[in-house]
Structures are given as C-alpha cells and as structure tokens.
Amino acid sequence: MTLLVIAYLGGVLTILSPCILPILPFVFTRTGQPFVRSGLPMLTGMAITFAAVATLAAVGGGWAVHANEYGRYAAIVLLAIFGVTLASPQAADILTRPIVALGNRLMNSADGGRSSVVGSSLVLGIATGLLWAPCAGPILGLVLTGAALQGANANTTLLLLAYAAGAATSLAVALRAGNRVFAAMKSSLGSGERVRRMLGAAVLAGVAAIAFGLDTGFLARLSYANTSTFEQAILDKFNADRQEQAATMVASNTPMMAAVKPRFKSKLPVEGRFPSVDGAVAWLNSPPLTAELLRGKVVLVDFWTYSCINCIRTIPYVKAWADKYRDQGLVVIGVHAPEFAFEKKIDNVKGALKDFQIDYPVAIDNNYRIWQAFQNSYWPALYFVDAKGQIRHHVFGEGEYDTSEKVIQELLADARNQMPENSMVTPNAQGAEAAPDLANIGSGETYIGYKEASNFVSPEGLNGNAAQDYTTGDPGLNEWGLSGNWTIGSEQATLNKAGGGITYRFSARDLHLVLGPSADGKPVRFQVTVDGKAPGASHGADTDGDGNGTVTETRLYQLVRQAGDVGERTFTVHFLDPGVEAYVFTFG
C-alpha cells in the first residue's frame, strides 16, 4: 500500500517537471467543456494507456518497444491533424474533408452528442498516453525497476496505474484552473475563435516538441534537477522506515533496493560527433550500418587490419566485449583499413574473420573513407560512442583493456540510467593473440619491402624490383639479411627459387613474420631454426618442434615463442619451395 502511495505522489509531482509541457496543450483543449464528459475521459485514457505501454516496455521485450513506436507515430499524426483543425479549420478543409470531420469530432464541435464528447475525449487521451514520456526521476525509476524485475503482474500494473493516476490528478487540477483562465481570455478577447487558434498553435508546438525528441532529451535533463530532490526525500523516508521496521532482517534483492541507487551520469568528456561510416566498399557479418541507425546504441569502433600483431592481440578483448554486452545495447563495428595490398582482398578478410571467429559487423574501408572521417592514424584504434552519437573516449594501440571495458560499462549505464557493473572479461588468448612479454621485448617491427625496409645487412645491398642473389652476411641485434634469389618490391620480398631464406638477430619472447604463398596460390613449405637448431619447446603456434611449417594463406605466422629465459637469438627460416612473399617482422 505504501508503494502505491509513493507511486501516486511521484505522478503528482510530474506537474512540476518540464517533461509535462509538450502534453499540456492537449489537456487544455478540454477547457470550457464539462469535466466529467470531457476532461475525465481524456485523463483516464491517458493514464490507462501509459500504464499499459510502460508495463509492456518493461517486460515485453523488443516487440513491445517497436509496437509502441508505431503507436507514437499514429498519435503524432492524429494530434497534428487535431492541432490544424483547431488553428485553421479552413486550411484543414482544403487538405481533406474526411480528416476535418475526424478532427471536429475530437475537438467536440457544438453539434456533437454526449457519447461523441466522451468518445473523442477518450481517443485524445489514448493518443496523449502514447506520446507522454515522463522524466525518469527516482520514483519512476523504482516503479519501472520493479516492473522489470517482477514481470507482468497485478502489482506492477497497479504501481504504474497509481503513478499515472497521480499525474492525471495534477493535470485535472491544472485543467480546472485552465477553465478559469479560458473563461477570462474568452471574455477579454471577445471571441472564442482566437482562443481556439491559440490552443491549436500550442497543440502543434507540443507535437513538434515530441516529434523532435525534446520531451526525452533537453526537457528531461532540465527536469532531473527540478523534481528529484522531492522524490528522493520521499524514498529516503520510506527506506528509513523499512530499515527501522526490519532491522533484524538480512538485505534482500527487492525492487526497492535496486531503485534507490542514485541515477548514473557519465562524466567522460565529449570528444566529438560520431562520424559517418558510409564509405565502406562492403560490409561483412551485417548489412550496411549508419550513424543514424546506431543512434540509441553504445558503439565501439575498432580500426584494425588482419595481419597487424597489435590488432591481433586486441581481438580477444573486442570479441569478449561484443559477446558480453551485446544484449545490453553495445554494437561493435570493426573497420578493416588495409596496410598491405593483399589486405584489400575481401576474400582474405573473410578468411581472417573465420580464423579469428569474429561475428560482429566489419566495414571494409579499402578507400580509407571511414579512416579519414575519424581522422584516424593508428592500428588498432578504439573509439567509444555513447547512445547520443557522441565520441566519449578513445584508445590508440593495444592495451588499456580494463580502462576500455570500464568506459563501455559507464556508457551503457548512462544510456540505461543504471549504475555500471565492475566485472572484467578475461579472454583465454592463445598463440599470436596472447599478450606480449613487454618486459623482454628488445626488437621492434621491421619491414622487408624497400619502401620501409631498415637494418638490412646483406652485403649485396638492397636492389629494388629486380631479381638478385643475396647472402645473409653477419647480422647484429635487430639486423637481418636474405639468402638466395629474391625480388624486393615496395611492400614485400618474393623468393624466385627454392632454397632461399631470411635470417634475423632478435631479442623477444615471440617472433612473427607476415608471409604469403606463391602467386598461383601453391603452399610453400619452410623450416625454422633458432641459433642453428630446431626450436623444440620454443616453436611458435605455426611451427612444430622440428621447426616445420607451411605457408597456405597470406597472414601473420607465429614462428618462435621462447620457452625458457628470453635472450638474444638468431632466427633463420629456409623455404623449401619458391614463390613465398615476406612482408614484415613483429615481436611479442
């Protein structure tokens, strides 16, 4: 019983909230008419409709939300027509006479009967109930939390009806006061026609405010400061009484305990608007998405490319976040922006999605349109977008996973007016996806193509775009050389004859090399040695203990993972077949 009283009082307080402003004109159209036959049916229809829609939205799932959206659209059209007929019956008559007839019934023309007055008022109330979006203060938070936790039952419906009845009560008082104002204005202006037109303009203004979302956006933000203090005081008093009465009872997971938590508001700065994602040449795992379609969702945009080791080590976390928070409103978008030419082949990207088991949407940004829209410069780069379409945080490079997940939790909590959770994902990353041994990395990314090649020590020197016989030389730390006949292009070196190899002196736990098969797609066999011996326990995910492996597709291959103490080692890979393409060394 006490909760019903609290819900009723919360509804009464809505008259103090700016969110009530858009529907006041609809209520005031009943001024100057008998309250029992006009105002009361309208307020009753509004209260019952709101309670029904709120119950379905809380417990009915997505179908109920979509049904309510269609109802809102119909109500907006109906009330807009109503406003036009009030403001200018002549204009409405030009548009369509049947619609005018409907509008005249709703506005209760003088020749309407008693049943027509009640019916039109009830229809107007139902339309108003579909559009009414009260500002979510602490008391409404209690009621809706209880509905979500307890499901559809009599108690849920009664609480929502009590809240709506409280709002209807305060609106009834406003309507009675409006009758006096209406009479005074009619007397002052000498004609009811001017008042009628003013009401029509007010109705159209209310419809516009609702259609543009002002009732759930700007006005909702104003409202919280206006009414929450009163509402929270009522809840605090009620909660104190309950604690005093049940001092010996253990805490329970009741709707009250969930609802009295303070409303959460993210304090993350706004870094900019969500740019367009329209420039993709293709979308994988999803139809094309746009920033407009994603409004209302928290979005994580991950710029990556499938052979980048930093991106690969980020993938387990991005996948885990997509799975964990999908049902809470998170949408993850991978923007695949290629670094090498082979990464522009959509079939290669499809193969990578299969290998990494990525099922979230991926935009193929081969022309870097999305990359440029974000003014991005990094692989990987994570951008966190709130439900209002604003970038609130970013992370460049791998790492900061706990911080990133806390940002996701915070933006989801902000979107749903709930306190954020604090549990973190712990992916079981294997192979190249595993976190690097940062304490022991003494080697850095090294490109093989002449465009960005460095530390090349073969005594013949680098001869671009021409077949050349090379010998390894004597590499020092972080230096490398070729053996055999190779053609070094701008992005990669291609082996022309079987038996060639690459040697690198490195210091890191893991050594990776991006490799591709021959141009005709034939696999290329290879054998790895570390300090002149088979790697044994120090073999990578793509080799066995004897150092054997095969290049079957263009991707990153993990060739060494040191099992013991990490130190300087000389790595050599010999290719038993011609045609292999070698792109870049990375380490972990």
Average pLDDT value for residue range 516-532: 95
Evaluate whether 478 touches 454 at the Cβ level (below 8 Å): no
Question: Helix, strand, or coil here: 560?
Answer: strand
Model confidence pLDDT, tens digit, residues 79-126 = 566 556 555 656 545 544 554 455 455 544 434 455 556 777 788 778
Burial of 345 (0-12, 13-18, 19+ CB in 10 A): middle
**Token reading at 481:** 């050389």
CATH class for the region spanning 272-432: alpha beta
For 438-587, which CATH superfamily applies? Answer: Galactose-binding domain-like (2.60.120.260)
Residue ranges of domains in the chain: 2-229, 272-432, 438-587
Q: Give the integer Cα–Cα distance in Å for 573 and 543.
A: 11
Residue 281 has pLDDT above 80, yes or no: yes
pLDDT band for position 145 (cuts 50, 70, 90) = very low
Q: Which of 574, 558, 447, 575 is nearest to 509 (CA)?
A: 558
Q: What's the mean pLDDT when you consider all of the chain?
A: 78
Full-model pTM: 0.54
Please report the sign of the dihedral spanned by the C-alpha atoms of residue 407, residue 412, residue 415, residue 421.
negative
Model confidence pLDDT, tens digit, residues 343-364 = 999 999 999 999 999 999 999 9
CA gyration radius, the chain: 34
Q: Give the integer Cα–Cα distance in Å for 75 and 67.
A: 12
Share of the chain above pLDDT 70, in %: 65
HSE (side-chain half, CA atoms, 13 Å) at 305: 22
